[in-house]
Chain A
Amino acid sequence: MDEKILKEQNKVKRHGFSVLFVHWTVALSTFLLIVSGFGQMPMYKRYKIADLPGLGWTADYSITILIHYLAAAVLILAVTYHVVYHVMRKEYDILPRKGDLKESYLIIKAMLLNREEPAGDKYLAEQRLAYAFIGMNLLIIIVTGVIKVFKNLPGIDYTAVFLIWVNDLHTLASMLLVFGILGHLAAFLSKANRALLPGMFTGKIDLEYAKHRHRIWYERMDRKSIRSTSTHRQKPTVPLDSTSVRQHAAGSEKTNSF
């Protein structure tokens, strides 16, 4: 697993390279897609954004469409990577669960009233819901976007009604995504959530924070590391002379104490 308790550093490794790669690739490509997407609606010229120094290009549809296509390819790459990677590894912690709506309410209430929150897993209920909201909108945008790309190719024509659905779903999901991203960023206005920020840069978060706010997750990792230590002790893969057994056991303990 990418996640583990790093007691010596007083940290918990929350995300590995794959999660950081996907998060930042999606963030950057989505930012470019939103900027260039608004450019595909006749807005920047009308509202004089293109008159600002250095922004004349924003009114040129032929430039913004190229940015949109390139960023879309990057987004599709990242999303495919994300889906394939986690399905292969059977990692589904971030998917919403039954009762998440109620639990989110309890967490937010506890945050506002400064009370004890319900025990959290790797992702809190509202984080799982936020993921589902943003993820669902991204999927709608990608599917409709891919259809829009096909539609632009010579020899491919869709019916007028289908085009209205595709275009308007694409636009609607994009607007919802913008709200989702604003909500995602607004979460960091709350101090309680800020300790998660380093996790998205270094992959690690504070150990005490994880223990307190993500207790279920922490305890699971803890149990796993104990189990792994004992498994190693029971099934040594090194020659069974007494010296090497002692060395191997010490080595496993050391590994798991990270």
Chain B
Amino acid sequence: MSGITRREFIKRTVAAGGAGGAILYGFKKPAAASVAGEQRTAAVGTLIDLSKCDGCAGVEVPLCVQACRQENGAKYPNPVPSKEIHYYWPNKKKEDWQDKKALTNRLTPYNWTFVQKVKVEHGGKQVEVAVPRRCMHCENPPCANLCPFGAQAKTPAGITLINKDLCLGGAKCRDVCPWGIPARQAGVGLYMKIAPKYLGAGVMYKCDLCYDRIKAGGKPACVEACPKQAILFGSKAAMRQAALERAREIDGFIYGDVENGGTSTFYVSPVPFEKIDQALKKQRDQQPNPSAPGFPLMPVKVGNYLDTANGMALSMLVAPVAGAALAGFTAYQKMKGGE
């Protein structure tokens, strides 16, 4: 071998590999440490028992919805007046709910939970089901993961929060959420300070599981307000266990345990969720504008938006190894040849 000794070759290979590795993955360590730190904090969860919830029959606005509005009213958007809000150029549309603050029959920036009521046939009987809806607070939330600006994140307690000061209202989070939960309000937020005529669209709003209350050791307002104890709050593990037991007890079904890769909201129902989903779909299609956001369905075993991409993550680990090996081989061949 001319030009380079074997010892020198190994030395340079190690040095080069080290340099490449440090450049590519040098920042991973502190991040991994922070993950381990977060995992030590217990995650919280809720159980929504549809065998108990009757949607507060006889009451115009269910008590959980009322409590939510009262608790979170101060966090609702405070946009500029409607006539000052521009269309989303070059489109002739904008999402402005400030004149519809009173709506309680869907999710809006001013209404973070609502109760869907459907009739389904099960076991030869017509069963009325009331389903309180809000953010499911997913295990691996695509809304937070895919926000291009980092305006959403999951807290150590497993609650996904939107940063209203950073959100530009692109609504990607709503598009990648299997239930289309986050609701957009125009005329408010960071984009108003940049170029509101051409860029940005508002801020996204959704349930934060009464994060301030939880931090202070309390429970979400909807949980406390429910007269039937149909919504329970506790550690995620305990809620999951309770859901399994309750489903066994009533020979029922669970929703939220596997959907979207797992969530921290466990619905228990005496009727299959496939039937609820179908009934909801039918109900939505009868609405004046079926494509309007804020009326989530209940697709059973719906996958996570990132499943395919995550399956490809391995290629990221293989790429630098392949690159280094190929470079090492080429460089070695050349140096062996005296070049």
Contact = CB atoms under 8 A, between A and B. Distances in A.
Q: Which DSSP category, helix, strand, loop or mixed, fits chain B's interface?
A: helix
A80 B324 contact: yes
Contacts of B150: 160, 163-168
Nearest to A160: B153
A85 B140 contact: no
Contacts of B88: 46
B176 A157 contact: no
B148 A149 contact: no
Nearest to A60: B175
Contacts of A147: 27-28, 31
A76 B261 CA distance: 29
Interface in A63-114: 65-66, 69-70, 72-74, 76-85, 87-90
Chain B interface size range: 35 or more
Contacts of A158: 31, 34-35, 153
B56 interface: no
Interface stretch (A122-130, A138-146, A178-186, A212-220): A138-146
A65 B335 CA distance: 40
Nearest to B25: A146
A144 B150 CA distance: 12
Contact of A80 (B24, B34, B149): B24
A153 B313 contact: yes
Interface string A10-43: 0000001110000000000000000000001110
B34 A162 contact: yes
Contacts of A167: 147-150
A194 interface: no
Contact of A88 (B38, B171, B331): B331
Contacts of A142: 23-24
Contacts of B153: 157-160, 163
Contact of A87 (B16, B261, B305): B16
B23 A151 contact: no
Given A18-B330, A154-B261, A157-B38, A168 B149 contact: yes
A158 B150 CA distance: 11
B166 interface: yes
A76 B320 contact: yes
Interface string B9-28: 10011011101100111111
A79 B16 CA distance: 12
A155 B140 contact: yes
A149 B313 contact: yes
A61 B13 CA distance: 39
Nearest to A48: B90
B334 interface: yes
B318 interface: yes
Interface string B146-190: 111111011110000101001000111001100000000000000
A238 interface: no
B306 interface: yes
A158 B155 CA distance: 9
Contacts, number: 199
Contact of B310 (A16, A88, A153, A162): A153
B38 to A, nearest CB: 6
Contact of B309 (A66, A80, A84, A159): A66
Interface residues of A, number: 60
A234 interface: no
Nearest to B26: A143
A146 B316 contact: yes
Given A18-B330, A46-B88, A81 B324 contact: yes
B145 interface: yes
Given A42-B172, A159-B34, A159-B38, A85 B330 contact: yes
A87 B315 contact: no
A89 B38 CA distance: 43
A78 B26 contact: no
Contact of B91 (A46, A156, A168): A46
A79 B22 CA distance: 13
Nearest to B15: A87
Given A162-B34, A163-B153, A154 B146 contact: no
A76 B327 contact: no
B328 interface: yes
Contacts of B139: 154
A62 interface: yes
B194 interface: no
Given A87-B12, A89-B335, A154-B140, A69 B309 contact: yes
Given A62-B309, A146-B28, 19 more contacts: A42-B172, A61-B146, A66-B309, A69-B309, A73-B312, A73-B315, A73-B319, A76-B323, A80-B24, A80-B319, A84-B13, A84-B20, A87-B12, A152-B309, A153-B310, A155-B140, A158-B153, A164-B150, A167-B147
Q: Which 4 A-B pairs have the closest CB atoms?
A: A80-B323, A167-B150, A42-B170, A160-B153
21 contacts: A46-B88, A65-B146, A65-B306, A65-B309, A79-B20, A83-B20, A87-B12, A87-B15, A88-B327, A143-B25, A152-B309, A154-B261, A154-B304, A155-B140, A158-B35, A163-B144, A163-B150, A163-B153, A164-B166, A167-B149, A167-B150
